[in-house]
Each structure stands twice: as C-alpha cells, then as structure tokens.
Amino acid sequence: MPKSTIAAVDVTAKRVFIRVDFNVPIKDGKITDDRRIRAALPTIKSVIDRGGRAVIASHLGRPQGTGHEAEFSLKPVAERLAELLGRPVAFPSNDCTDEATAAAVGKLNNGEALLLENLRFHTGEKSGDAAFAQRLASYGEVYVNDAFGTCHRKDASMVAVPQHMRAAPRVVGFLVEKEIRYLSDALAHPGRPFTVILGGAKVSDKLPAIEHLLPKADHILVGGAMAYTFLKALGHRVGDSRVEGDRTDDAKRILDLAAESKTDLHLPQDHVCSTVFSESHGDISEFEDHIEDGFMGLDIGPKTRLHYSKIIKSSKTIVWNGPMGVFEWRPFRMGTRIVAEAVAEATAAGAVSIVGGGDSAAAAEQFGVADKLTHVSTGGGASLEMLEGKPFKAVDLLDNA
C-alpha cells in the first residue's frame, strides 16, 4: 500500500518531527562521508521552504545510552547540514529531552531547522520506552519517517513516536518513498531476466533473502565468503575458507529448493585465495573447483567473473547486496569491480539496477559506478530485510496515500 508523503501535508507554521538517518562516519570530529545527510535534504528543504519548522532527529553510532558521549555527538552533523542547507541549524543541547531543547523547539520560527542531539544517548530509544517517545512526540505536529536505514528497527523514534502521534499526519519523506518504491517494484514487477547478486561474509545473513527470492528471480549469483558454506554443503573442499558449520544443512536445503525451482542459483567456479587474511602478506593462488588446505577464498576467480558478468549484462532488473570478495584490498577487488561495472553497463543498456546499502554502496562508490546505477540504497540492513519480504512496522503504521 503506497504511503502518503510529506508533499501532501500543509506544513506552514507547523512543527514537523523528521526522523532521518544521519548515522555517518566521523573521524577526528570530521564527517568522512555525508551521503546520508545529502539524501535527506529534499525532505528537509520541502518542510522549511514551505514555512514549516523542522525538528530533525537521528541516532549516531552505538553509545552506551547513559548520557552524552562526545565521540557520538551529532554536532558535526548539525554544522554540515547548515552548510548544505545554506542556513543555520539550531543544536540546542547535549540532551534531546531536556528543558533547553524543549524551549528551543518551542521558539522555532517558520522556515527554521533544529537538530536534536543523538537519540541513543538515552536507553529509551533502543528499548522503545513510552515516556521517552512521548517527550519526542511533543516536539511535533507532523511526523515524517525519512530514515530508511532504520525502518526495519522498532526504536522509539521509529515506532512509539508515531504511535503517540495518531491524531497528526504521519507520512514518509522523499527518501523512504523512493527506497520503498524501487525495492518493492523490483520484487513485485521486475523486468526479466531478473538477477539478484548476493555476497558478503555471512551466509546466515542472506539465507532468508535467497529463500524468499527463489520463486521470483531468474538468476541468483552468490559470491563472497558466504559462498563457501554452500560449496561445503555440496562436498567441495574449501581449504581454510570461512564456513558457517552450523548452517551447512540450511545451505543444502536452499540448494535443494533451487534445484526444484525455475531460478538458477550460481556459485563460484574458481577462486582467488591466500594463505593469510591480509592485503600484503601470504601466498596468493587461484583454484578451480576445490581449494587446497591452507588457503582461504577471498575473491571470485576469472571464470566466475566472466560468467557472472555475462548474466548481469543480459538482465533487465538487477538487485545487488554484498561484495564478491575483500574488495577493500587490491589483490581481491577484481571480482567486485567486474560485477559493479557489469551492473553499470546493464543499466546504461536500459536495465533497472538497485544496490543495497553498506558494503555494496561503498564498492559502487569505490569503482566509480554509483552515479551510473538506477538506485543506491542508504540502508543495507533495511534493504536486505525488504528482500526477505519482512514487513516494516515503522512504515506500516504511517498514513496510506
């Protein structure tokens, strides 16, 4: 069911509580990647440009929840947001629930913006505490969810706050609307062939997505360390590669389901391996089929790259979540790079390409293809859970269009 967006709400002279995902990397007090801030700008600008009073809320990192921690303060984010908006952004206090913050919210004028301090400085955010949520809810007359990266969570600001604001408009921002539209449309009405690329370290993270996608996709391409649990389940020798031993039975069950389905589940045919998990140490060798003892698979090999690339380039819908190897290290980046470039080439030829956040988005940036893809998600965990077919309570309780 499509959700009502902030564009449908008259925000003039109203306090608009906007939950965003400003969980950005910060080093030595400096933001090293502001993509998530930029992604929220259309929603924030829509509110303040129409005379609304934006009360913006986010978490950052994983503080203890026992009060202010300088390393997780959102102050650098407030400063960067002000630069991007070209106007001041109030940042009233080290505590998002104290009287100074409440007073600052009350004094907001039309067209002004305020950023609350890190919600996770309070344990009530993660626990969904009702009193904490009630305090946050008192700051707004309209609720906006524009935090796709946390839509799969039940944090107070995502679920309890809109529950407390039942009488108010409760809508999605432009980012969440876009994320849901692309991901849901890809699953509901894909152009075919429909190819899903899944990688990363842990097979346990991706098994539910594979099972959910088997009746939907034409091809599922598996890479990364997660592939070795599947290969082990098939009786292949995988050397010292990472294997989740307690999930081999689950992997075998998925392989059996794939064999009975119309979907082709592809596993790596060859591997780039090393004797040490390191960028610059150890002996590097390539193996076809089986991997010798003492070696661990750290990237897909040349045959697999070519095979996967051909499938991707012939696809009309592509969903990519997870790298093919340790792409951050030069000896093991080629598999992910070839996949990224193939997705970009398919997109240029008319395919719809959707990249899950996290490492996949970082890889797309690293290899210079991010701006050549249809959509790069801001939420790795959220996009994966959507691929698993899980409902999002934080979205379900919002107003329908």
Question: Which is it for strands 317-321 and 352-355: parallel, antiparallel or unpaired?
Answer: parallel
Q: What share of the chain is helix, strand, coil (3-state, %, to 5)?
A: 40, 20, 40
Q: What is the DSSP string of 262-299?
A: SSEEE--SEEEEESSSSSSSS-EEEEESSB-TT-EEEE
- Catalytic, 191? Answer no
**Host H or E run for residue 17:** strand 15-20
Catalytic residue among 35, 50, 154, 202: 202
Catalytic residue among 65, 381, 390, 393: 381
C-alpha angle 298/302/303, rounded to 5°?
115
- Catalytic, 50? Answer no
Burial class from Cβ neighbours inside 10 Å (0-12, 13-18, 19+) for residue 286 reads middle
- Catalytic, 62? Answer no
- Catalytic, 36? Answer yes
Please give the C-alpha separations between residue 291 and each of 200, 228, 238, 239, 267, in angstroms, as whole numbers: 19, 10, 5, 5, 14
**Host H or E run for residue 364:** helix 359-366
Cα–Cα distance measured from residue 147 to residue 22, given in angstroms and rounded to the nearest whole number: 8
In 3D space, the residue among 170, 120, 113, 184 whose CA is nearest the CA of residue 150 turns out to be: 120
Catalytic residue among 36, 53, 247, 337: 36
- Cis peptide before 391, with omega less than 30 degrees from 0? no
Catalytic residue among 149, 224, 358, 379: 358
Cα–Cα distance measured from residue 239 to residue 3, given in angstroms and rounded to the nearest whole number: 49
Active site residues: 36, 202, 358, 381
